[in-house]
Chains A and B, each alone.
Chain A
Amino acid sequence: SQKIEQNSEALNIQEGKTATLTCNYTNYSPAYLQWYRQDPGRGPVFLLLIRENEKEKRKERLKVTFDTTLKQSLFHITASQPADSATYLCALVAAGGSYIPTFGRGTSLIVHP
């Protein structure tokens, strides 16, 4: 069956360090992968999209990599700040079908001052 796996344990890091979150998937042929941020009691907010033929995407302090061989995406936040504390969701859109994404459970990031 299709699975999207994100680390269920919270990631605790110190302010200023780089946070790295992982998204692994099985039994998918994704056309593209998205990362969203979700704050408690709020809807997700779109951050970045990376297509299957792209290796890396950057936006300000954010960087996403996509390895279709490993079936994995890494999401990096450099120079992390306490305001980056939130849950980060990855979502996959399968190739050749609906454009509707399927979401992982998300990983909670806590940045300590």
Chain B
Amino acid sequence: GAVVSQHPSWVICKSGTSVKIECRSLDFQATTMFWYRQFPKQSLMLMATSNEGSKATYEQGVEKDKFLINHASLTLSTLTVTSAHPEDSSFYICSADRDRAYEQYFGPGTRLTVT
């Protein structure tokens, strides 16, 4: 149990367009979902924390107007990268937890390339 999916697994878009990434908990209801980005050989950087039905909490330095997060249900959170630029190219990973359990369940990640 505790499977998290992400869609798409990879996406290539042109500069200036917007991209939506979905994160779903398949077999459990996620109290909280998290969005990370990861550059090659770097650690996971937390971007934001989202709870169902409320506004996401963004980490310092993350532009909330650029990275829109919608947590519509206990099993779905979306991250929209608006007006994407090449510097937004990265590996985006979501995770979810169950009732503030002591481990996070990660999705497989989405590779975004902005040309």
The number of residues on chain B lying at the interface, defined by a beta carbon within 8 Å of a beta carbon of chain A, is 23
Considering only CB atoms, which chain B residue lies closest to A48 in the complex? B103
The answer to whether A103 and B34 touch (CB under 8 A), given A43-B106, A43-B108, is no
Q: Contact at A89–B43, with CB atoms within 8 Å?
A: yes
Can you name 24 A-B pairs with beta carbons within 8 Å?
A8-B41, A41-B91, A41-B111, A42-B109, A43-B4, A43-B93, A43-B94, A43-B106, A43-B107, A44-B106, A46-B103, A46-B104, A46-B105, A46-B106, A49-B102, A89-B43, A89-B44, A93-B102, A99-B100, A100-B34, A100-B49, A101-B104, A105-B41, A105-B43
Question: What residues make up the interface of B, taking CB atoms closer than 8 Å to A?
Answer: 4, 6, 34, 41-44, 46, 49, 91, 93-95, 100, 102-109, 111
Question: What residues make up the interface of A, taking CB atoms closer than 8 Å to B?
Answer: 4, 8, 32, 34, 36, 41-46, 49, 89, 93, 99-106
